[in-house]
Structure 1
Amino acid sequence: MSIELVRALKENKSEQETVFHNGADLIGLNKRFQDSRPSEIMRFTIENAENPVIFTNFRPLAVAFLHLVTQPKKDIPVIWVDHGFNTPETYRHIERVVERLELNLQVYSPRMSAAHYTAVYGQIPPLDTPEHDRFSEIVKLEPFNRAMSELKPDVWLNGIRHDQNAHRKSLNVFTSGSHGTVRVAPMFHLSELDVEEYIYDRDLPDNHDYFDPTKGEEHRECGLLLQK
């Protein structure tokens, strides 16, 4: 057998074993894991991902997701976009969670601080206006896209669930994400009560004073999941 043929066979085998890529069989993955526990989904993801990252906003109940996804890989990068408009309690909560879970926290902030934005443009603009679109781009989308470009993950782990809003109900555990990633939501099929019980059973600290300036409403999408 020639050296060229051996090399070709090895390359072909490597491609076949790559699970998370642009052409990943998401339909097959979702069918395979439709009745699986979040921990099983996580174990499979960590075993097959080359460069997974976590995105979180430390909203209420997010600590359950962070606890779950860091169990199989303690040093996985945890990306947080600090837009600067968080409540004081949220910042204190983040410090507690980072210490408790020993998170490998990677903070990405807007190039324009909250104080700078407010001084130049005034208060947070009304929803569904061009001004609010610009605001969301400055404080959340730009730092998010910068994180993706710098870290170049193949898997983007997030804590979305099917019961949060209509858009998320249309998604699944494995979906196509922006920047060529596969989004994995291991807790997708859980209910809010399931997550509350997860937190209670493990005596995890939760955040009860959260504010997202880019959403305005609890069940509104912030924009990250809508990017192509």
Structure 2
Amino acid sequence: MILENIDIDYWNAKLKSKAPNEIIQWAMGLTNNKIVTTSFGVYSAILLSNMAKHDPKIKVVWCDTLYNDLETYEHAQKLIDTYGLNIHKYQPLLSREEIEATIGLPNLEDDNFKAFSEAVKLEPFRRALNELQPEVWFTNIRVRQTEYRDKKDILSLSKDGILKVSPFYYWSDQELDQYLEENQLPKNHGYFDPVKALKNRECGIHLQ
């Protein structure tokens, strides 16, 4: 199947009734050039454990802002070790000390917040896409997370024409919590994104 010829509206309607594993399996057949992104956030174990089953060698892109807490770094290492994840870690070009000395740690109302977002998340992510040049990008975005994400679907296109696949798009927090419990997967309770800052605010990379 050629990506340019995919009817996204047709496939979104067809995939809506499918289980996440069926969605992943379908998308896996589109191309060998694919990535999955993670911040090792609250429900990251769900997508990553499923992706590892389908393709243990898939490139896992982690844009580490340098502002994760110890719980998140421990959570990340546990998942990396458990599933043998093929991690491609991207970090800011500046150290955390340099960022705080030149930009600071601004809040949402601060004039420097845009520069902070660019330094810790947006530039590293663009660098990842430029280097890896994926055709398919698996994500864990879901409806009801932000106003922007409510306008997406299981399949969507990035600004660069990358096909984004969100297998758990229609799942609620309650359904994900039940999945974690049933499959004995860890939950990263303490995850905090310094760019997203607010629960219903878009983190930035999905605007790319």
TM-score range, shorter chain: over 0.9
Tell me if structure 2 keeps the 8 A contact 1:83–1:113. Answer: no
Distance 1:199 1:42 in 2: 18
Q: Distance in 2 between matches of 1:118 and 1:151?
A: 29
CA RMSD of aligned residues (A): 1.3
Point out where structure 1 has 5 or more consecutive residues left out of the alignment: 1-16
Partner letter of residue 57 of structure 2? D
Structure 2: how far apart are the matches of 1:141 and 1:153?
A: 17
* Greater Cα offset, 61-70 or 148-157: 61-70
Aligned residue-pair number: 208
AA partner of residue 160 (structure 1): I
SS of the aligned residue for 1:215 comes to coil
1:59-98 equivalences under 5 Å are: 59-98=41-80
Which residues in structure 2 correspond to 1:88-167 (within 5 Å)? 88-122=70-104, 124-167=105-148
Distance in 1 separating the partners of 2:108 and 2:130: 28
Deviation readout 1:101-152 (Å, 9 max, x if unpaired) = 2111110011012121112233x11214431011101110001000000000
Tell me the distance in 1 between the aligned counterparts of 2:102 and 2:30: 46
Which structure 2 segments of 5+ residues have no match? none
Residue identity over aligned pairs, in percent, reads: 32
Q: Which letter does structure 2 place at the counterpart of 1:57?
A: S
* Cα displacement (A) at 1:166: 2.3
1:40-76 CA distance string (max 9 Å, x none): 0000011112311001101111211111222111110
Q: Is the 8 A contact 2:154 2:165 kept in 1?
A: yes
* Stretch deviating more after TM superposition (198-207 or 37-46): 198-207
Alignment partners' CA distance in 1, 2:141 and 2:172? 11
Amino acid corresponding to residue 170 of structure 2 in structure 1 = H
| Larger gyration radius, structure 1 or structure 2 | 1
CA shift digits 1:179-214 (9 cap, x unpaired): 220110001011111111111111112211112111
